[in-house]
Homo-oligomer: A and B are copies of this chain.
């Protein structure tokens, strides 16, 4: 589940700059304190530090916080492979919680399974990380769609 991403050829040489620029516009990710780490063709790694307010009542990472990082990391993994002037929308995903999300930090690794002109499928795993190592706590399979980019304006 955690294999290195297959080697994909990006259609936009500026893919990493575009992903990192998009990330800075995501206020919801800022609210949670998420960070964007590795960005490679077909692969993205994001982290979520374990602040108290992203945990649930037993102290584990909240399922909603895990879903948020999954959704974003998978979207950015797909984003690395699209042409300029396109963007990525999540169509759907399925998420399995496997173990309590313990640790100081949540690490999400998202890898493109199948890129496509219209639809891209991404698989991602979440790990609770501490000084003792990493424990797989959730896995997801997500479908995304490439659409023409549009200006950054609020919805009417």
- The reply to whether A94 and B93 contact each other, CB–CB distance below 8 Å, is yes
Interface of A is mostly: mixed
Q: Within the assembled complex, what's the spacing in Å between the Cα atoms of A114 and B99?
A: 9
- The reply to whether B56 and A26 contact each other, CB–CB distance below 8 Å, is yes
Given A27-B53, A113-B139, A67 contacting B62 (CB threshold 8 A): no
Give A106 Cβ to nearest chain B Cβ, in Å.
Answer: 12
Residues from chain B with Cβ under 8 Å of A17 in the complex: none
Interface size on A, residues (CB 8 A): 58
Q: Which of A1-40 contact B (CB under 8 A)?
A: 1, 3, 22, 25-32
Give A105 Cβ to nearest chain B Cβ, in Å.
Answer: 14
Q: Within the assembled complex, what's the spacing in Å between the Cα atoms of A69 and B143?
A: 20
Residues from chain B with Cβ under 8 Å of A84 in the complex: none
User: Which residue of the partner chain, among B65, B93, B100, B113, contacts A95 with CB atoms under 8 Å?
Assistant: B93
Q: Which of A72-95 contact B (CB under 8 A)?
A: 72, 89-95
User: Which residue of the partner chain, among B3, B28, B67, B141, contacts A139 with CB atoms under 8 Å?
Assistant: B141
- The reply to whether B95 and A92 contact each other, CB–CB distance below 8 Å, is yes
